[in-house]
Structure 1
Amino acid sequence: MAVCDDLQNASITKTFEKNAPGCNTIPEVEASCALIISENDLQNTIAIYPNPVLDVVIINSTSSIDFLKIPLYTINDQKLVEFSTKQLDVSRLSSGVYFVQITTNLGTITKKIVKE
């Protein structure tokens, strides 16, 4: 993220050459920097509750994020189901530990849930 930080520093001369398409001008790079969110930020932006869960897990976000896919995995990395909503019905699952992989327009994170 150093480039994004440098864009904010008025004392640095900025020149972009031979970059990927869409990253050749200051406005293009600034637009890309505005979209960057770290995995830690994404982890803190998305909450899953209740956890432990009996029937339904709810995924909530503190900002406007597009959820693209939400598969559920066992601890052995076996994909069980892919959800299309932010309310995950896990009532038919056995008790145990599972992982929800949340893919958004800002990146992908994995959260652990415990099914009682």
Structure 2
Amino acid sequence: QGQVGLKMYKFGQEALSITNVEEVNTIKAFPNPTKDILTLNLLNKENYSLTVFSALGQQIPLKIKNNQLDFSNLSSGIYVVSIKNNIQNKTTHFKIIKQ
């Protein structure tokens, strides 16, 4: 028959903690398609840098204000919003349709 036994374990002095947790990609851009205002759910926008490109790869000089981008003066078409997390050095891209 099998044996039932006890094993002894020794834990180190270090505190149990998580030291390196990657941020889950929870950035959202809405509404998409948009007619004018695109809203981003960035919690700490100072941790991010944002660039908008046209479908031809031209950089569009849009600035984020109150977690919103104003597309109202842009022509209809497809744009790419590139959001870089400056803390983790990771970039997320959104394809946005401007109506």
Q: Does the CA contact (< 8 Å) of 1:72 and 1:80 recur in 2?
A: yes
Q: Which runs of 5+ in 1 are unaligned?
A: 1-25
**Residue 89 of structure 1: how far off its partner (Å):** 0.4
Q: More relative contact order in 1 or in 2 (CA 8 Å, sep 6+)? A: 2
- Taking only aligned residues, the RMSD between alpha carbons, in angstroms, comes to 2.7
1:115 paired with 2:98, answer: yes
Counterpart CA distance in 1 for 2:40 and 2:83 is 9
Match for 2:29: what amino acid? I
Counterpart residue number, 2:48: 68
Deviation beyond 3 Å, 4+ runs, structure 1: 64-67
TM-score by length of 2: 0.68
TM-score by length of 1: 0.59
Aligned sequence identity (%):
29
Match for 2:50: what amino acid? I
| Offset from partner CA, 1:62-98 (integer Å, 9 cap, x none) | xx45442111101122111142332000100000000
Between structures 1 and 2, the one with greater helix share: 1
**Residue 108 of structure 1: how far off its partner (Å):** 1.2
* Equivalent of 1:48 in 29, 35, 43: 29
Counterpart CA distance in 2 for 1:48 and 1:59 is 5
Give the greater-gyration-radius structure (CA). 2
Q: Which runs of 5+ in 2 are unaligned?
A: 1-13
